[in-house]
Chain A
Amino acid sequence: MNVRRIAQSEHVVGWAFALPAVLLVVTFGIVPIVWSALMSFQRNNLLAPPQWIGLENYRALGRDPLFKASMVHAVVYTSLFVPLSVGGGLFAAIALNRKVVGIRVYRMAVFVPVVISSIATAIMFLWLFDPTFGLANWILGKLGLGPFGFFTSSDGALYSIIAMTVWGWIGFDAIIYLAALQGIPQELVEAAAIDGARPWGIFRTITLPLLGPATLFLVVFSSINAIQLFDEVYLLTNGGPGTSTYVPVFYLYQLAFAQGIAGYAAAIAYVLLVVILILTAIQLWVGKRLVYYAS
């Protein structure tokens, strides 16, 4: 009896300690999740009293060409951004994983874009990709190419955003890979060299497999990141030219906060959540079969 009372009192104290964190999670995590779930079944403009319409929002999504276009853009963006940033990060990490004079400076240079705010990056790329005065067109002009419209061209805007975000994220991927590379025992590489492997063979059979956990993490992380693309579109193209850079999160933002169609926007958010869950599950399932984890 006595023992139980002590246990119970410890219980109370424990919850008391955890309470601030619990409140934060509930207020800013659980409440919005549940609330937006409810909203997705409503006609809701955040002002007037909501009206329950069941699955109507979800049905409407299937008939919405702009939603479809946003999803297509997201697929194009994700399927280019993920391999380019992860592959680029690996390449950069290998280049940076050596002992040469000034290596710290090089490593810093690669990582700096990660810590620069996306606004600063966006402004820089606006200058760089300016159709008339930009450095990019000047260089391409010297090579007899262009001029290109970049962010102002409906064919090129999405790819210009990809170029920019890949540049911004390579440093992050490179740091993760660099840490993973330094965790690979040098002896394994030496043993493989003695066993007769050429540099490419060592990379393929030793380095790459042992980087598996890092690669899986980066692919999952970058994919989630890519599907949620918003900042750059908002800052640089505002979805344009036309709707050529509309992506789901940007579209739902437009719907909810510019046009006040919050119920419909919430349905998009939930579709996106399901897409992310399914994609992540597939990646982890494949990863489990391909990736070797130490110990």
Chain B
Amino acid sequence: MAEVVFDGVTKVFPGETVALDDLTLEIADGEFMILVGPSGCGKTTALRCVAGLERPTRGTIRVGDRVVNDVTPRDRDVAMVFQNYALYPHMSVYRNLAFGLRQRRVPKAEIDRRVREISAMLGLDDLLRRRPAQLSGGQRQRVAMGRALVREPRAFLLDEPLSNLDAKLRVQMRAELKRLHARLGITTIYVTHDQTEAMTLGDRIAVMSNGRLQQLGAPQEVYDHPANLFVAGFIGSPPMNLVRGRAEGGRVVAGDLTFERSRIPDGEVAVGIRPEALSPSADGTPSFEFLVDVVEPLGDEVVVHGTTTGSTVETGAEEEEVPTQVEGARAPITARFDPGVRLAPGERLRLGVRPDRIHVFDLRTGAAIP
């Protein structure tokens, strides 16, 4: 096992695509690090650089105490789980699991011992003689994981390993991954664009956009204190509500909402409020008017979509362009309430929010203003 360090890593692909832009990131020995960001932000490229499948244009990559830029994938001794698993289709599960050990000339008896151990751990005992084509998606996923783990690598790289599984299986595998990591303690870099995986799995998450590191921290810390507008818009589901506003003399006005914030510099700002920070009553707290559009009862909570006075802010984290059904100069707002709250489309009410739960960002730089 070993730490993995990106030091100023830049990767430029032919055609001037900058996939990684001066990425500096230290993953500690035994840490579970999540790389999260929208599609195309360079997550896979980062993993491939560690695995030795891509060579950084600039910067160095260290595994343990060794700079590995010029080391072949074989000699880096890291393992990777590909998004589509990349199981060897012509080999049985057993041979897939044993492949890495055989290539490294591990004695046969030792190979057998380790393959049996890992297949027991992952519940693959009964599948050892099958070919990958004869397995379900979840089973293939386990084999891919087993193949990586059986070698006891120095680092474990996973590229969106759960994205091809159905929702139920994903929840199961998520828990299993966590258990495995707790048990084996292998340094892990886990790439995902999934909110929940990012929040639940890692010790720390690194949020990326356009090849740049946006924020690094414990999941809760990133959630509670997004460093900039991009992170604010990306982390959290449903995403943070953002309304354009203005700060002047310690007072912020955004649409219908007004609140005090000491020592804030004057200027254009974005005001951010998480859906769960909103309450359907405005007893004494700052508040703004809200027009209910769609109500989604989820059983344990109710998600309410609607609008308020003002205009919204683009963060660059929007997954895709969903045209928001907002007429005139109104900003979309999403709120999460207790299931007891009964609202109907067309209803108007005031939503309250505690001032300490309001985020303010510099509209020009996107940086959070404390």
Across-interface contacts of A193 in B (CB, < 8 A): 52-53, 72-74
Binds B, one of A71-79, A196-204, A214-222: A196-204
Interface centre among A191, A205, A212 (most CB of B within 10 A): A191
Q: Please state if A192 and B89 are interface contacts (CB–CB under 8 Å).
A: no
Residues of A within 8 A of B100 (CB): 195-196
Q: Which of B74, B79, B104 has the most CB of A within 10 A?
A: B74
A206 near B: Cβ within 8 Å? Answer: yes
A188–B86 touching, CB < 8 Å: yes
A192–B99 CB distance below 8 A: yes
**Is A145's beta carbon under 8 Å from chain B?**
no
Residues of A within 8 A of B324 (CB): none
A190 to B88, CA, bound (A): 11
Interface presence of A209 (CB below 8 A): yes
- CA–CA, A235 to B89, complex, Å? 47
Q: B103 near A201 (CB under 8 angstroms)?
A: yes
* Closest chain A residue, CB of each to CB of B150: A195
A99 nearest CB across to chain B (Å)? 10
Is A64 part of the contact surface with B, judged by Cβ < 8 Å?
no
User: Residue-by-residue, is A25-61 near B (CB-CB < 8 Å gives 1, otherwise 0)?
Assistant: 0000000000000000000000000000000000000
A292 to B51, CA, bound (A): 29
Asked whether any CB of chain A lies closer than 8 Å to the CB of B55, the reply is no
In the complex with contacts A210-B90, A292-B89, A195-B72 CB distance below 8 A: no
A194 and B53 contact, CB distance less than 8 A: yes
B residues less than 8 Å from A195 (CB atoms): 79, 99-100, 103, 147, 151
Interface size on A, residues (CB 8 A): 21
When the two chains form their complex, are residues A187 and B90 in contact, meaning their CB atoms are under 8 A apart?
no
Inter-chain contacts of B331 with A (CB < 8 A): none
Does B74 lie within 8 Å of A191, measured CB to CB? no
Give the shortest distance, in Å, between B153 (CB) and chain A (any CB): 9
Closest beta carbon of chain A to B353's beta carbon, Å: 48
B52 CB, min distance to chain A CBs, angstroms: 7
B53 touches A190 (CB 8 A): yes
Q: For B84, what are the chain A residues with a Cβ–Cβ distance below 8 Å? A: 187
Q: In this assembly, does A117 line the interface, its C-beta being within 8 Å of a C-beta of chain B?
A: no
Interface of chain B residues 242 through 293 with chain A (CB within 8 A):
none
- Say whether B80 contacts A197, CB under 8 Å: no
With a cutoff of 8 Å between Cβ atoms, the chain A residues found around residue B73 in the complex are 190, 193-194
When distances are taken between beta carbons in the complex, the residues of chain A under 8 Å from B99 are 192, 195, 197, 205
- CA A175 – CA B103 in complex, angstroms? 31
Min Cβ gap A147→B in Å is 48
Cβ of B223 under 8 Å from chain A: no
Verify if B78 is at the interface (C-beta below 8 Å from A). yes
CB closest chain-A residue, reference B131:
A292
Interface assignment of B133: CB less than 8 Å from any CB of chain A: yes
By beta carbon, the residue of chain B nearest A201 is: B103
Cα-based distance from A195 to B99 in the complex (angstroms): 7
Whether a CB of chain A sits under 8 angstroms from the CB of B337 is no
Determine if B53 and A209 form an interchain contact, defined as CB atoms under 8 angstroms apart: no
Q: Which residues of A contact B80 (CB under 8 A)?
A: 191, 194
The verdict on A185 contacting chain B, using a C-beta distance below 8 Å, is yes
A294 interface residue (CB < 8 Å to B): yes
- For B151, the chain A residues whose CB sits under 8 A away are 195-196
Chain B positions 71-116 with a Cβ under 8 Å from a chain A Cβ = 72-74, 76-80, 82, 84, 86, 88-90, 99-100, 103-104
**A-facing residues in B139-191 (Cβ within 8 Å):** 147, 151
5 contacts between A and B (CB under 8 A): A188-B89, A190-B73, A191-B88, A197-B74, A212-B90
Taking Cβ atoms with an 8 Å cutoff, the residues of B that contact A are 51-53, 72-74, 76-80, 82, 84, 86, 88-90, 99-100, 103-104, 133, 147, 151
